Amino acid sequence: MDKKQAPTRGNMVRAAAGLKLAAKGHDLLEQKRQVLMMELVGLIKESREIQENIQTVFSNAYSSLQMANLSLGIDTVEEIANSVPEENDFTIRLHSVMGVEIPDVDRIEPDPKPCYSFYGTSGAMDNAYVKAREVLALLARLAEVENSVYRLAVQIRKTYRRVNALEKVVIPSYKQTISMISSVLEESDREDFVRMKIAKGNSSGREDKQ
């Protein structure tokens, strides 16, 4: 906002329009920030729940792996584990929350898929495989949630800065400009009124003398 602009009615009209637009933008950005905050709070809560579950799931998976090692031997378990294909078939979609692209990863089913022979294995090995799938499914969900939290937090920070700039700088600047121009115009109107009264008084005096 240019504080040195001429105090004219046209500039005051433009400043008033700018103030109205800035106020509307401030309200919209504030609504956006509130919606993003609600989404963020929900995801943070879910992230904490997942992290709490991960401790239990990891502990169970490690115990199952130890039992498989005792049952078959570490070398055999490692050989069987190497035959299990890597999980790389992730489907990631994006959905928009107030303009923020949030990842949506298709759930990884914890149920095991047959990928090794039952010959030479044991129930302990099967249980370890099931627990490992549960860890994988939970980690994929945690990655999705934490990535969403990061994206939302970045956008909330940007939105807050814009709201703050409008609230602390732009809107007060427009109000100050309107107040300044209005004050100058009112003073000018008073001076014109006084001049008109004086001119009218002088004109009446001349007429009386005649």
Rounded Cα distance, 49 and 40, in Å: 14
Q: Give the pLDDT of the chain (210 residues) as one tens digit per residue.
A: 455 667 788 888 888 999 999 999 999 999 999 999 999 999 999 988 888 888 888 899 989 888 888 888 888 888 878 877 777 777 788 888 888 888 887 777 766 666 666 666 777 888 888 888 888 888 888 889 999 999 999 999 999 999 999 999 999 998 988 888 888 877 776 766 666 766 666 555 555 555
77-117 tens-digit pLDDT: 888 788 777 777 777 888 888 888 888 877 777 666 666 66
**What torsion do the CA atoms of 173, 176, 180, 185 make, to the nearest 10 degrees?**
90
Q: Domain extents for the chain?
A: 10-184
**Pair 121, 80: CB distance under 8 Å:** yes
Fold (topology level) of 10-184:
Helix Hairpins (1.10.287)
% residues pLDDT > 70 (the chain): 81
47-65 tens-digit pLDDT: 888 888 888 888 999 898 8
pTM of the full structure = 0.71
Which pLDDT score is estimated for 151? 93
Provide the token pair at 193.
């009124």
Rounded Cα distance, 198 and 206, in Å: 12
